[in-house]
Amino acid sequence: MKNFKFALPILFLTFAAFMMSCGSGSSDKVSKNGPEYTSAYICPMHCPGSGSDKMGTCPDCEMDYVANENYKKKDGDGHNHDGHDHSGHNHEGHSH
């Protein structure tokens, strides 16, 4: 019974520390601009540097890529026109 008195607080503190670390909010600090978030096909685990314009597997965790629901397709000329003004540069050769 003596051991139980010492084990209970240690168990409680361990559990509390675990729960606090899970809700630390560190996901807010992750940049979601890398290919693991912006490619047409992405790793479900968002492994750093993963992502592709074709189906395949993640080179890091070897999971199958999935279609990115948030993928913004680029124009045929290879650049995305979202979020910038189109004045000031030549638009010949590609359509909008």
pLDDT in tens, 13-33: 777 666 555 444 455 566 788
pTM above 0.75, yes or no: no
Dihedral sign from CA coordinates of 89, 91, 92, 94: positive
**23: how many CB neighbours lie within 10 A of its CB?**
7
Contacts of 14-18 with C-beta under 8 Å, sequence gap 24+, read: none
E strand map for 15-96: 41-42, 66-67
Q: Which residue has the higher pLDDT, 91 or 36?
A: 36
Could you give the CA distance from residue 47 to residue 85 in angstroms, rounded to a whole number?
A: 32
3-class DSSP state of 57:
strand
Quick one: what percent of the chain has pLDDT higher than 70? 50
Confidence of residue 91 (pLDDT cuts 50, 70, 90): low
